[in-house]
Amino acid sequence: MKWFTTYNNGSAIDLRQIPSLSYAEFFEAVRERLSNPACHVAHYFGVPVEETRLRVWCMILNDEEHTIEVASYDVDYYDEELPSLTKEFAAMHPFERDMTERWGIRYDGMPWDKPLRAPSRSARRAGTVDEYPFYKMESASLHEVNVGPIHAGIIEPGAFRFICNGEEVLHLEISLGYQHRGAERQIETSKNLLRQVLLAEGIAGDSAVTHTTALVRTIEKLASFDSSKAGNLDVERAVALELERMAMHIADTGALCMDVGYQLGQVACEALRTMTINTTQLWCGNRFGKGLIRPFGTNFPLTDELRATILKNVEEIRRRYNEVRHDIKTTPSLLSRMEQCGIVNAQQMQRIGGVGQAARASGVARDLRVSHPWGVFTDRIAHQSIIKEQGDVMARLMMRCREVLQAADTITSLLTDLDCSVGSPAPQWEVKLPPYQLSTALVEGWRGECCHVAITDGEGRVACYRVKDPSMHNWLALAIAVRSEGISDFPICNKSFNLSYCGHDL
């Protein structure tokens, strides 16, 4: 059966247009699609329709066709014989766990059927977040190392359980949910668009621009608003996103330098990150770009003065950061720590449905700016993804280095000839949305693919809101990366991914 096909820069979808399949049809259709390496699942979630009935929505992206395919099936709490997709496609794992946890739907033969976020209303009714059923190996020569939920640094919480043979990590399992604060539910139950926007800003503070862009684009698509005709709005959003990418990649470069004891690289990057986020602050008054992304417009249209400042700072950051990059590449002691360490190969990355810079460092060319473009990436910028094959810590670091330079180029090219007198409209907060629509927006943040979905009810209210942070896919990649590494290499493996806890836990 044909799925409904749409595009990232397309419009919202009338729910009646989305095919409703039986689970058996759905299972076969997903299987067929995911067997194509150009396809991966972007979102898969259930929404209650009646007492014990759910409608489950699935979105699959095809990178070659640039399409988003959408289908649904209905399922009842008491339904049986729902074979698990996870068995064949590890990428489905977090989504099926989420379905089981939220709604009690059981998938037959699902491996590692474990809690995902341990929310208060978990359908599992089993235990607290601290009672996560970690995998165990019994042997007198093995030991376990437990880390967390509070870590040794100013960082978010999550529980990590290592099984080690001496120094060597045999297995790492990551239990999350400590940051769960009900973000999606707060967005769904709010009638105040400003409140929804601010909630998006706080889904993952290090990706405030990414998540807020995804939310406002989801709402704008529902309202049939074309941001490409709204003055410089698309350019401003792209510049904000690329500034965020620069800031975080530079921060992670510094963090990796710190963890291998390379202080010069660390402090140079700290200073460059400060310069980047202070540039964002000069634009919108907030170092993380909170306040910058608003629905249907902006409170901070670019001025000529600002444009010149951003161009000047970006050029300076680019020059200095490039020196750091050269330095890292020519220091053998750094290379020996980071090369051949924490490898995730292309096949593994493909299987788990990895996205973003981590996937690209493992040779999986997944980049929404190319595969599912929107805004400036549809016409003004012919983006070419940077791809590396090695899949080790060094590859992920060099990926960051190259993407910082590339982001600087993108900003420069967008701003150099920008006519700021065109301006951008002011935001709108009172907006009537059409009933029974599904709207989705995909945004390639610095961490990777961010996917937001809104479904409206009969009165045009956002009755269901679902968020997917790229971390949802990529946490498993970290667990794979540390296998057979020394446990002392965990910090650099972890920093090389720098995944989000709050974005995952919601």
Partner 1 sequence: MLFNKLKVFKSHGSQYIPDLKAVELPAIFRGRPELSECDAQTAEELVSMCPTGAITAAPFTLDMGRCLFCGECVRRAPQAVRFTNDYRIGATRREDLVVTTSTRSIPFTREAVRKEIPAMFAHALKLRQVSAGGDASVEMELNATGNVNFDFGRYGVEFVASPRHADGVVVTGPVSRNMAEALQVCYDAVPDPKVLIVAGSEAVSGGLYAESTEVDRSFYESHTPDLWLPGAPTHPMIFIEAVMNLIGRDRREDHTQK
Task: List contacts with partner 1 (CB under 8 A).
Answer: 118-121, 128-130, 149-150, 152-157, 177-182, 185-186, 190, 192, 194-195, 198-199, 201-206, 208, 251, 264-265, 267-268, 270-271, 274, 281-288, 290-291, 299, 319-320, 323-324, 326-327, 330-332, 426, 429, 500-502, 505
Virtual CA dihedral for 503, 427, 240, 157, nearest 10 degrees? -20
Contacts of 55 (CB under 8 A, 6+ apart): 20, 46, 47, 49, 72, 73, 74
Can you point out the beta strands (E) in 100-212?
A: 143-147, 159-165, 168-175
Write down the least CB distance from residue 258 to partner 1, Å: 10
> Residue 466 in 3-state DSSP?
strand
Rounded CA-CA distance 156/149 in Å is 8
Contact 71, 58 (CB under 8 A): yes
Q: Which is nearer to partner 1, 55 or 447 (CB)?
A: 447
Q: Which is nearer to partner 1, 212 or 439 (CB)?
A: 212
Rounded CA-CA distance 476/191 in Å is 36
Token pair 């999550």 is found at 158
Phi, psi of 25 (to 5 degrees): -65, -45
Write down the least CB distance from residue 491 to partner 1, Å: 12
AA letter at 244: E
Rounded CA-CA distance 404/328 in Å is 15
Write down the least CB distance from residue 447 to partner 1, Å: 11
Write down the least CB distance from residue 35 to partner 1, Å: 36
Q: Which is nearer to partner 1, 43 or 117 (CB)?
A: 117
Q: Which is nearer to partner 1, 55 or 211 (CB)?
A: 211
Q: Which is nearer to partner 1, 252 or 489 (CB)?
A: 252
Q: Which is nearer to partner 1, 1 or 335 (CB)?
A: 335
Q: Which is nearer to partner 1, 280 or 362 (CB)?
A: 280
Contact 374, 392 (CB under 8 A): no
Write down the least CB distance from residue 306 to partner 1, Å: 10
Virtual CA dihedral for 221, 226, 230, 231, nearest 10 degrees? 120
Beta-ladder partners of 83: 108
Write down the least CB distance from residue 300 to partner 1, Å: 9
Write down the least CB distance from residue 90 to partner 1, Å: 25
Q: Which is nearer to partner 1, 30 or 193 (CB)?
A: 193
Write down the least CB distance from residue 158 to partner 1, Å: 10
Q: How far is CA 226 from the centre of its chain?
A: 24
